[in-house]
Chain A
């Protein structure tokens, strides 16, 4: 493309670039502030109004966190739910998506409609709660996984991906006497690893961020995932919310640095997978938005 070198165009670029830098900074500074704050002392935070690089480094907040049972236990719960949830969701989603991707299947359109309709209408919070309760899942960690196992959006993305694999693959495998299970496990799944990785990351982030199902279905504080504990420590400890159940462990409001450290601990796993996320997610989002 021919570059436009007029003065007006240069001014435009200068302003545009500067604004974008400011936007990026404003987006990211809160994270930096919290991360930096978590590595310093309460005194330092009180003196310096804005900590980006602390002058006094301290691991006190983290020492405190790792010494408390509650936070460590909730981390364990979150990690477990993320791993098992992602596996469970992925198996269910991939199986159903593959079945629905085969054009010769009777009832395929009906089942697809059934799936899409759930994106438009739902029974809502209370009837769902009653179903989970009847199944005896209240206060069990399975309540964080099973009731939200398949995301209709992810299912559709996965099905579209399978549908776009060349038909010839299946036909030739069939001629060689391969069963449908054989085709799925030996041919389709190995060819679909990029899509499976993307959707797995989608699920993993959702499970790590699980909050709502936990407050709906878990009364037992010992089973709360880290997001719920984070809320107890940061939001409720500000003495704001009306609901103070489960506050017994934090009689004394935690220090600002401890709050920041808990936020960091709950955030870091996402930041660690973020490079992978970013690579695949934009594609996933586009696929879904166009075909969903």
Chain B
């Protein structure tokens, strides 16, 4: 407010403006003191690493540092695009994303629709309480529980398969089972939590609409189809767009925990590749280039998705 009035006054001369600013800075110095530690955090741990992306153009040697390491231009990017592994990673990323979109994305919507039809509040709350729990467990716990249950050695799932007269399946070491396992674990951990936003949107629907529909003889499915779903359309759109912007964020922790020498062919993604090449093998510059490529594509996707969302007449995400 203060700034507006100062600028609005045409008679204010430049020196006077800067002294005005100085006065405000001094007056608010306590607020700047409060912001300072956090500001330093963002500079040191977020912005200096962004500057550190320059090592993607170097042949970075830890003992030479960023200032003395030789510059090599786009050599590492060229290597990335000619590496056969690059296409494997790209394929894995896209396939996992598509499976995520097809098999995970609709589930919270369906679950929210089901919960929304429940009229007994106590029942609804109990179910919600239970299905939210896995969201708070770390991926280590989710994957560990899956491993204990899927193990060849006394894992409950394999024991059940034997009981039904089927053969044991080595879920954890197989290429075919990696993707379903990945998606099922996401569903287990996030489906319940994912209903929250939909349920909030559904709570805002005017109950009169349902009554009118009932008088017109609409059954429950028709009520869902013609009232509930159209009412949450824009929420679904926004979340869908957010998801598309997140194509490359498949979850380093989750995948890294599932990754082993037997399923690397289908499980390796950009993040795990960066980790292995960079921190395990010490190829700092090359792995930074890979990470940089991922970050830029990610940023373009988020902005593109946001643009699309606004274009479609929906609210943007920022």
Beyond A28-B130, A231-B257, A266-B141, is A126–B274 a contact (Cβ under 8 Å)?
yes
Of the four ranges (under 10, 10 to 19, 20 to 34, 35 or more), the interface on chain A belongs to: 35 or more
Q: Is the CB of B260 within 8 A of A205?
A: no
- Contact among B137, B193, B210 for A270, CB-based, below 8 A: B137
How many residues from B make CB contacts under 8 Å with A?
106
Shortest CB-to-CB span from A133 to chain B, Å, is 8
Q: A116-B318, A124-B292, A127-B49 are in contact. Are A27 and B133 (CB under 8 A)?
A: yes
A96: contacting residue among B39, B271, B292, CB under 8 A? B39
Interface stretch of the complex, out of A55-63, A64-72, A79-87, A103-111 = A103-111
Given contacts A27-B131, A49-B159, A104-B24, A130 and B259 within 8 Å (CB-CB): no
* Chain A proximity mask over B295-318: 1 for CB below 8 Å, otherwise 0: 100110011000000000000001
Residue A175 at the chain B interface, CB threshold 8 Å: no
CB–CB A209/B138 < 8 A: yes
Chain B residues positioned under 8 Å from A34 (CB to CB): 145, 148
Rounded to whole Å, the gap between the CB of B212 and the closest CB of chain A is: 11
| Chain B residue nearest to A255 in the complex (CB) | B154
Cβ contact within 8 Å between B148 and A259: yes
Q: Does B244 contact A (CB under 8 A)?
A: no
Give the interface of A toward B (CB within 8 A): 1-4, 6, 8-9, 12-13, 16-17, 19-21, 23-24, 27-28, 30-31, 33-34, 37, 45-46, 49-50, 92-93, 95-96, 98-100, 102-106, 111, 114-116, 118, 120-131, 135, 146-150, 155, 179-181, 184, 205, 208-209, 211-212, 215-216, 227-228, 230-231, 234-235, 238, 240-243, 256, 259-260, 263, 266-267, 270-271, 274, 277-278, 281-282, 285-286, 289
Residues of B within 8 A of A (CB): 1-3, 21, 24-25, 28, 30-35, 37-39, 41-42, 44-53, 55, 66, 111, 114-115, 117-119, 123, 126-127, 129-134, 136-141, 143-149, 151, 153-154, 156, 159-160, 163, 172-173, 188, 192-193, 196-197, 200, 207, 210-211, 214, 219-221, 252-253, 256-257, 259-262, 271, 274-275, 278-280, 284, 287-288, 291-292, 294-295, 298-299, 302-303, 318
